[in-house]
Structure 1
Amino acid sequence: MKLHLTEIFYSLQGEAARVGLPTVFIRLSGCPLRCTWCDTPYSFSGGEPWTIDEILAEIARYPTRQVCVTGGEPLAQKACLPLLQALCEAGHEVCLETSGALDIRNVDARVSRIMDLKAPASGESERNLWANLEFLTPRDELKIIIANRSDYDWACQKLQEHQLAARCPVLFSPAQSSQEARQLAEWILADGLPVRFQLQLHKLLWGNMQGK
């Protein structure tokens, strides 16, 4: 059983509850979505075939138990599920970054799922699989990238409509290319939203450098 990998690299976690922790990132290749603000289009295709055992051996070289499986869209590869299970069995603290467009119900319960909801400016909001919300637990997180005021208003509506903050922590992030971060922070404060404002730490440190 092999997976197509774009890269494996060691860096600081830039997002969500584990922000700042040294982490090994496993970036799988392929994604069925084409979000307008995507910052990893190089992962859409290609990649090299790796077995799960080869991946486990590679990440064992790094001095951390924190592992993040990302993409692309990791769940687009069927072997992602056994990879996640194998990582947990090997004693790693595992999180999965997923678009929210594919079914998350069979992800190993030991994995923390960082799931997107795609706002309209992403161009992919019709791909949101709303049934996924029922499978979220307090150990998971929801991320909404905000590109403009319309996205923010949409996110506020969904926050209330689906009682998102009662399911798991909710993260609002500004789209780097279009939404001014301070303005988003001020909107959140003005409305007293039960969400976490989030900037991408790795981009503050290294910009858009691949492998960081």
Structure 2
Amino acid sequence: MKQATSSVSSPRKLDLEVADLMTLAPHEWLNDNVLNGYFDLLSEARPDDVYCFNTFFYTQLCRKGYQGVRRWTRKVQIFQKSVLLVPLHLGNHWCLAEVAVQDKLLFLYDSRGGANLTCLQRLVSYLCCEAEERGEADFTSGWEGHFREDIPVQETSGDCGVFVCQYARCIMEGRPMDFSQKDMPKFRCQMTQELLQHKLL
């Protein structure tokens, strides 16, 4: 007999398996479902000016180029947003890209202090292609990418996903990134409750 699978349903029909929530246990690696669920909460907090991409977006962009993601945001006016947040799965590591749309600036947040130029170049190329596709002439060129160095960094191997979620929350709320590695257990507990209650606490 196949073992029954327990799940937790949110009002937005995001089904999180117990196994997903278990990735929020100490020292575990967060999976796509948890990151997507959390980024949904961030999007819902400021729907008019913040848009969060799905974790599979950048992977698909790497594999198939612009044509592979051309229709992903067809119902979203991304160039009318203030901030785009893009979770990035880079091998065995999560990072975050922030797009300050109106300033045409990209920032890469890597909790291990990396500087992935290829990542920024791919995202700039995507934005230029998307702007051309939509007839947004002001956004077809002039983008700049930067690596953020003045950010909290991880001291263990499994907390990159939690750092990404907290970077994104600080950006969304416009507050300083004044947390550190010692805050990770607290954040893991808080994120579990937020996903279960489907609201930011």
Question: If the length of structure 2 is used for normalisation, what is the TM-score?
Answer: 0.32
Q: Please state which structure has a larger fraction of its residues in helix.
A: 2
Q: Please state which structure has a larger fraction of its residues in strand.
A: 1
Task: Tell which has more relative contact order, 1 or 2 (C-alpha 8 A, sep 6+).
Answer: 2
